[in-house]
């Protein structure tokens, strides 16, 4: 819930507060955004692997952005456009994380479907066993007759046993 409120407040502040960026700042903002997106995809992957830690995520988010901006500044000082290299590195990492997320998600989906199919097959097998046991009797009256016959026989045996005990 806190996450949703934070996102809504951030969007609202972004809309309400006027901001202007110089063209010289655009490369820094682009690098920071790409680094942040790389951290978000890394966090999603960690969450799917059940290894997510908010402290690691926040440190990674900030350190990736700072490292990307620092490399861009150094490149501008040296007269080399290192922002492209930083964007490529973070972009490749984002695509690798996205591929791992997709693979993990599809694997879990297909494993779940396979378990459901196995459960249905097991249920059908169990119900088929129950039906074959009941096929010996044509209808419920046959089952009741057999049960009554067993009861009559048991009563007769008990009576004979008690009579023989009395005679002794």
What is the reported pLDDT for 4? 87
In the structure, what pLDDT confidence band is assigned to residue 25 with cuts at 50, 70 and 90? confident
Say what the pTM is.
0.62
Q: Is residue 153 part of a domain?
A: no
In the structure, what pLDDT confidence band is assigned to residue 153 with cuts at 50, 70 and 90? low
Q: Is residue 149 part of a domain?
A: no
Inter-helix orientation angle 26-48/54-78, to 10°: 150
What is the reported pLDDT for 162? 55
What is the reported pLDDT for 165? 54
What is the reported pLDDT for 147? 47
Q: Is residue 150 part of a domain?
A: no
Q: Is the pLDDT of residue 2 over 70?
A: yes
Q: Is residue 98 part of a domain?
A: yes
What is the reported pLDDT for 143? 46
Average pLDDT of the chain, as a whole number: 82
Domain count, the chain: 1
- Whole-number Å distance between alpha carbons of 66 and 39: 12
Q: Is residue 164 part of a domain?
A: no
Token pair 């900030």: residue:
62
Q: Is residue 66 part of a domain?
A: yes
Q: Is the pLDDT of residue 28 over 60?
A: yes
At 115-141, the pLDDT tens digits run: 998 888 888 877 776 666 555 544 545
What range does the domain containing 76 cover?
Answer: 26-117
What is the reported pLDDT for 146? 47
DSSP conformational letter for 112 = H
Q: Is residue 45 part of a domain?
A: yes
The 8 Å CB, 24+ separation contacts for 68-77 are 68/31, 68/32, 68/34, 68/35, 69/28, 69/31, 69/32, 71/31, 72/27, 72/28, 72/31, 73/28, 76/27
Asked if residue 32 lies in contact with residue 65, where contact means CB atoms within 8 angstroms, the answer is: yes
Q: Is residue 73 part of a domain?
A: yes
In the structure, what pLDDT confidence band is assigned to residue 154 with cuts at 50, 70 and 90? low
């Amino acid at each position: 819930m806190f996450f949703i409120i934070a996102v809504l407040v951030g969007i609202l502040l972004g809309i309400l507060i006027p901001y202007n960026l110089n063209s010289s700042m655009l490369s820094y903002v682009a690098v920071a955004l790409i680094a942040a997106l790389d951290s978000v995809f890394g966090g999603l992957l960690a969450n799917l692997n059940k290894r997510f830690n908010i402290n690691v995520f926040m440190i990674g988010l900030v350190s990736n952005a700072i490292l990307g901006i620092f490399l861009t500044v150094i490149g501008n000082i040296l007269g080399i456009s290192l922002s492209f290299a930083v964007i490529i590195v973070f972009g490749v990492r984002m695509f690798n994380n996205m591929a791992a997320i997709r693979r993990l998600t599809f694997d879990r989906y297909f494993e779940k479907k396979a378990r459901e199919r196995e459960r249905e097959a097991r249920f059908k097998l169990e119900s088929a066993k129950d039906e074959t046991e009941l096929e010996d009797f044509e209808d419920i009256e046959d089952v009741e007759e057999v049960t009554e016959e067993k009861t009559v026989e048991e009563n007769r045996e008990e009576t004979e046993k008690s009579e023989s005990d009395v005679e002794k």
